[in-house]
Structure 1
Amino acid sequence: MKKITILWILILIPYFVFANAEKKSKEMCDCLKEAKISQTENDKKECLNLREKHVKALKKGSKQHEGYLKSLSSCEQELAGVPQVDPNLTTEEKTKVVCDCMKNASKQNRMGCFKLQSDYAKTISDMEEKKAFNLNSQTCGE
């Protein structure tokens, strides 16, 4: 009986740990959305304080923290108007998405386009194809 209880605890701990990180990233995303809408300094400060609280609770550098950052990155891309990565696109389609992002992004949002370019490059396993993608997607932003 004791072994079964310990087994259940070991099985459920990762679930609650990652659920906690997911919950915190959603909370942070909601805060960022609210701050973007309101544009008030108090809302922006509240988000900074919330992020500090989350980083402290999730222990910076831990797997929980990494999961939190990954989920949060997706939210930040959405807020910046940068499309989500679709690994099923062809290399030409990926290049077009990156180029469209660069063309339509304001100076402030261009960093999101560079991240999009990097994320798409990671989805290409063939080294020659990846080189071509990097060259083509770099030149469209100029």
Structure 2
Amino acid sequence: MKKCTIISLLLFLPWLLFANVETKSKEMCNCLKKANTSSSESVKKGCLQLREKHVKVLKKGSKDHETYLKLINACEEEIAGIPQIDPNLTTEEKTKVICDCFKTTGKQNRMGCFKLQSDYAKTISDSEEKKSFNLNSQSCEE
């Protein structure tokens, strides 16, 4: 009986750890969203303290910490209004997404469009097609 309990706990442990990472990243994302809309310094400081607490628990440099950082990065991109990439789009559709990004974002969010352009370029394996995409998508930066 004791052996069965230990085995089931070991099988359940990875799920608990990931759920912990997911919970912490959602908590941090909610804090960042509040801080983005708030002018209060205490809210922003609270997010910094929460991040420090999470990093201690998740052990900086661990796989859990890396997963946490990826999830937080996605949250920050969402807050900044950077659309997520869809690798299943055609090259022409990807170019249109980039051009739309440059047309609709202000000067301060142009870096998000450049990142989106880079991310889409990474999804194209054919070198000639990638070259064409880069040339076409760069022409709409102006």
Does TM, scored on the shorter chain, surpass 0.5? Answer: yes
Please give the secondary structure, in 2, of the residue aligned with 1:89: coil
Gaps of 5+ in 1: none
Residue in structure 1 matched with residue 132 of structure 2 by the alignment: 132
Q: Which amino acid aligns with 2:19?
A: A
Distance in 2, matches of 1:31 and 1:75, equals 11
Distance in 2, matches of 1:50 and 1:67, equals 17
Residue in structure 2 matched with residue 123 of structure 1 by the alignment: 123
Matches within 5 A, 1:84-95: 84-95=84-95
TM-score (norm 2): 0.86
Gaps of 5+ in 2: none
Cα deviation, residue 43, structure 1 = 1.1
TM-score (norm 1): 0.86
String of CA shifts for 1:15-69, please: whole Å, max 9, x gaps.
Answer: 1111111111100110011111222211111112211221222122221112112
Matches within 5 A, 1:14-33: 14-33=14-33
Question: Does 2:93 match 1:97?
Answer: no
The total of aligned residue pairs comes to 142
- Structure with max Cα Rg: 2
Give the root-mean-square deviation of aligned CA atoms: 1.9
Alpha carbons of 1:42 and 1:89: their partners in 2 closer, same or farther (altered >3 Å)? same
Question: Does 2:116 match 1:109?
Answer: no
Please give the secondary structure, in 2, of the residue aligned with 1:86: coil
Matches within 5 A, 1:35-54: 35-54=35-54
